[in-house]
Amino acid sequence: MTDMNMQEYIEQAEKDLLHTYNRYQIVLDRGEGVHLYDMNGKEYLDFVAGISVFALGYGNKEYNDTLKNQIDKVIHTSNYYYNVPAIEAARALKKYSGMDRVFFTNSGAEAIEGAIKTARKYGFLRDGKTDHQIIAMNHSFHGRTMGALSVTGNPHYRDAFEPGIGNIRFADYNDLESVKKQVNDKTIAILLETVQGEGGLTPASEEFMKGIRQICDEKDILMICDEIQCGMGRTGYPFAYMKYGVKPDVMTCAKALGCGVPIGAFCMTEKVGQASLVAGDHGTTYGGNPLCCAAAAKVLEIMERENIPAKAKEAGDYLWEKLDEVMNSYDCITEHRGRGLLQGLVFDKPVRDTINKALEKGLILINAGSNIIRFVPALIISKKDIDDMIVILKQAIEEA
Ligand SMILES: Cc1ncc(COP(=O)(O)O)c(C=O)c1O
C-alpha cells in the first residue's frame, strides 16, 4: 500500500469507505500551525481547522507532549473507576463554562443525546409523565444520531430517517413569538445553537437569548445551548452565551474541546444535576477516558492561560473587515454573517466550484449548506494568514 500515489489512494478509498461524504480530491498527510500538507507535500492554508476543531493549530508542542505522555501512562480505563485527567478536565470545563456538572461524551451528537435525556428525565422527575416536548429551531444542526437528528431543523437531513424520537416541535430562530407559540404545559426544554453554524452562521439576537431565558425561568423549562461549534473561544468569549449575560441550564460542547481527539460534553447547573440523571441512567465506554480528557484539560489550560478567546476576537474583527470588502466587490455575494472566527459569505449560487478552485490554489475552505462559504480557522490565525487567504479567495471567486 505504501507505494500508492494520491490518486490511487483516493480510488481505493472510494472502493472501501461507505460513500457518505462527497470528499474533496486530496489526501491530507500532516499539519503544522495553520497549514496542512497533502501526501505530495503540497501546502494548504487551512481555514477549516477540521470544521472548528483545531483551535490551537496543528502541532502545538505542549498539547502533543501531553498526549504522548498520557499514551505512555494509560489510554483507557473505565468509567467505573476514577482517573485524574477526567477529574482535571471536568474541573477546568466547569470553571471555563460556569456550569456545575459535566458528563464527557465521544462526540457532539452524543452530547446532544445526553442533553435530550437530561431534559426528559428532568420532566419525568417533575411530574411523572413521559410525554414532554422539546422545542428546537428551524435551520439548526445538532448531529447525525437519531436523537440529534430529531432536533435538527432541516428536513433534508431528517426525511429519509423518520420517524425521529418524537415530541419535538420546531420554532423559528431569532423569532421569540414563534417560540412562544410552541410552548405548552408539556414543554420541558428549548434547544438552540447560540450561533447557528451549518444552518447559516447566524448569531442569536440578544432579545432572543434573553427572551428564551425568561420563558424557561417562568415555566421551569430547561434552556439548552448547543455550543459544539461556536463554543471554546471561537466567538471571542469562552462560550458564546457569555456575550448575552445569559446562562443556560444545560450546555453541549465538543469539537475544539479536544482539539483533535474525539471528546464532547454535556454540562448542567447543579439544580439540573440534582434533578435529572442518576447512576444507571446514562453511560459510555470511551467517554471521559484518560487520553481524551488529558487533551481536553490541556486545551482548557492553554485557552485560559493564553487568553485565546481574545485572540479569536481580534482576528475575527480583522476577518470581518476583509470579508466585508470581498462581499462589496462581488455581486454574487449577497450577505456576510457570523461572529468572531465563525463567519460565512452567502453566495447567490452553489459554492462548491469556488471551494475547488481555492483548493487548487492551496487554500482549504468549507461550505455551510450549498451556497455559503464558512470561515472557521484555528483561533491562532494571524492577520497575515487572513490577508493570504483573501488573495486566493478573490482569485477563486473570479475563476469559478
Ligand atoms: C452545532 C453542532 N451541534 C452538533 C454537532 C454534531 O457534532 P459531532 O459531529 O461531533 O457529532 C455539530 C457538528 O458539526 C454542530 O456543528
* Interval between CA 40 and ligand 1 midpoint (Å): 31
Q: Is ligand 1 within 6 A of the CB of residue 249?
A: no
Q: pLDDT tens-digit profile of 233-256?
A: 999 999 999 999 999 999 999 999
Q: Is ligand 1 within 6 A of the CB of residue 193?
A: yes
Q: Between 3.90.1150.10, 1.20.1260.10, 3.20.20.100, 3.40.30.10, what CATH number should domain 6-59+308-399 receive?
A: 3.90.1150.10
Q: pLDDT tens-digit profile of 303-343?
A: 999 999 999 999 999 999 999 999 999 999 999 999 999 99
Pocket test for ligand 1, best of 54, 113, 151, 229 (most atoms within 8 A of CB): 229
Q: Is ligand 1 within 6 A of the CB of residue 366?
A: no
- Average pLDDT over all residues of the chain: 97
Nearest to 56 by CA among 359, 344, 260, 206: 260
Which residue's CA lies nearest to atom 3 of ligand 1? 142
The residues spanned by each domain of the chain are 6-59+308-399, 74-305
Q: Is ligand 1 within 6 A of the CB of residue 113?
A: no
Rounded distance between C-alpha atoms, residue 139 and residue 109, angstroms: 16
Closest atom of ligand 1 to CA, residue 196? 1
Q: Is ligand 1 within 6 A of the CB of residue 227?
A: no
Q: Is ligand 1 within 6 A of the CB of residue 340?
A: no
Q: pLDDT tens-digit profile of 258-304?
A: 999 999 999 999 999 999 999 999 999 999 999 999 999 999 999 99
Q: Are the beta carbons of 105 and 263 closer than 8 angstroms?
A: yes
Rounded distance between C-alpha atoms, residue 258 and residue 336, angstroms: 29
Q: Is ligand 1 within 6 A of the CB of residue 226?
A: yes
Rounded distance between C-alpha atoms, residue 168 and residue 287, angstroms: 26
Would you say residue 1 has pLDDT above 90? no
C-alpha cell at 107: 462526540
Tell me phi and psi for residue 135, to 5 degrees: -95, 125
CATH entry 3.40.1110.10 includes domain 74-305: no
How large is the average pLDDT for residues 340-367?
Answer: 98
pTM above 0.95, yes or no: yes
Q: Is ligand 1 within 6 A of the CB of residue 234?
A: no
Q: Is ligand 1 within 6 A of the CB of residue 351?
A: no
Residues 6+ apart with CB under 8 A from 161: 146, 149
Which pLDDT belongs to residue 44? Answer: 98
Which pLDDT belongs to residue 4? Answer: 95
How large is the average pLDDT for residues 91-96?
Answer: 98
Which pLDDT belongs to residue 131? Answer: 97
* Interval between CA 230 and ligand 1 midpoint (Å): 10
Would you say residue 3 has pLDDT above 90? no
Percent of the chain predicted with pLDDT > 90: 99
Which pLDDT belongs to residue 6? Answer: 97
How large is the average pLDDT for residues 365-373?
Answer: 97
Closest atom of ligand 1 to CA, residue 143? 6
* Interval between CA 227 and ligand 1 midpoint (Å): 9
User: Would you mind telling me the total number of residues written for the chain in this entry?
Assistant: 400
